[in-house]
Structure 1
Amino acid sequence: MSEANSLKRKPKVVRHTDLEVYQRAFKAAMDVFRLSKSFPVEERYSLTDQIRRSSRSVAANITEAWRKRRYQGSFVSKLNDAEGEAAETQTWLQFAVECRYVEAESTRVLYTEFDAIVAMLVNMQNHSDDWIITKEKRQ
């Protein structure tokens, strides 16, 4: 293999934390947490809890999917759950803007980031054969 080709190779993914989609989902959840600190107290048990839960659930479902790679159906199902949670988070971001708790501009980057995360998750689902652990891959 030439040096140019070896530089283009992605590092081997050993843990879920090595996945770019996980790293981006975790960071996005932390960004949502910081943003939600400014929400009014009366939203603590509705909007605040919901947006924090759904944003964190994206990374958590990716983690579960990674551990279920022996079973293609379970793997894809968990990725699908993560995709749904990302979309739910986007809806909560829209509510925060409409309720005037945050400026639209402050959520635009986050909304776009969740779009990118969804695209990565869909790609993983569509190419799940590349990710699942088969008997051949274990040997």
Structure 2
Amino acid sequence: MRDFRKYGVWEQSHKLVLELYRLTKGFPADEKFGIVSQIRRAAVSVATNICEGCGKASERDFARFLGISFGSCQEVEYLTLLSKDLGFLDGHSYDLVQFEITSIKKQLYHLIKKLNAES
């Protein structure tokens, strides 16, 4: 069994969740059940699926959960773009989030590739 805390990609995704919770506190109240909820769920899904995958016995199952995590990153990427375009997220915050998402996606991609080669 793997310890999710030992993966840098999990640590970075956890920090992203905390940052997105902080940023979305400033979104309009009428978006609480819309974009705010969706961004938060997608961001949490990135970190959660890494954790869940760590509990799987095979490399193939671990890679599958990392793939789900990657998909959630894509969702966060779009939702933050939408938030910026709607004026809920300033350009600087958007750029920082995008940098983190890109980094997480690269790490997930390489880890998935490595696991698939081993299985």
* TM-score, structure 2 normalization: 0.93
Matched residue, 1:137: none
How do 1:91-106 residues align onto structure 2 when only pairs under 5 Å count?
91-106=78-93
Give yes or no for the alignment of 1:87 onto 2:87: no
> Could you tell me whether the CA contact under 8 Å between 2:63 and 2:116 is conserved in 1?
no
Give the whole-Å Cα distance in 2 for the aligned partners of 1:62 and 1:83. 10
State the 1:102 CA deviation: 1.6
Larger Rg over CA atoms: 1
Percent of counterpart pairs with the same letter?
Answer: 23
> Could you tell me whether the CA contact under 8 Å between 1:29 and 1:56 is conserved in 2?
yes
Give the whole-Å Cα distance in 1 for the aligned partners of 2:30 and 2:69. 28
Give the whole-Å Cα distance in 1 for the aligned partners of 2:10 and 2:76. 16
Give the whole-Å Cα distance in 2 for the aligned partners of 1:80 and 1:59. 12
State the 1:129 CA deviation: 6.0
Mind listing any 5+ residue stretches in structure 1 that lack a counterpart? Answer: 1-13, 133-139
Matched residue, 2:44: 56
State the 1:76 CA deviation: 1.2
Mind listing any 5+ residue stretches in structure 2 that lack a counterpart? Answer: none
State the 1:130 CA deviation: 8.2
- Deviation per CA, 1:22-71: give whole Å up to 9, x if none: 00000011000000000001101110000000001100000011111x22
- Residue type of the alignment partner of 1:84: G
1:100 partner SS: coil
Tell me: higher relative CO, structure 1 or 2? Use CA pairs within 8 A at least 6 residues apart. 2
- Residue type of the alignment partner of 1:59: A
State the 1:81 CA deviation: 0.3
Give yes or no for the alignment of 1:21 onto 2:6: no
CA RMSD of aligned residues (A): 1.6
Give the whole-Å Cα distance in 2 for the aligned partners of 1:39 and 1:53. 15
Runs of 4+ in structure 1 deviating by more than 4 angstroms, as ranges, are: 129-132
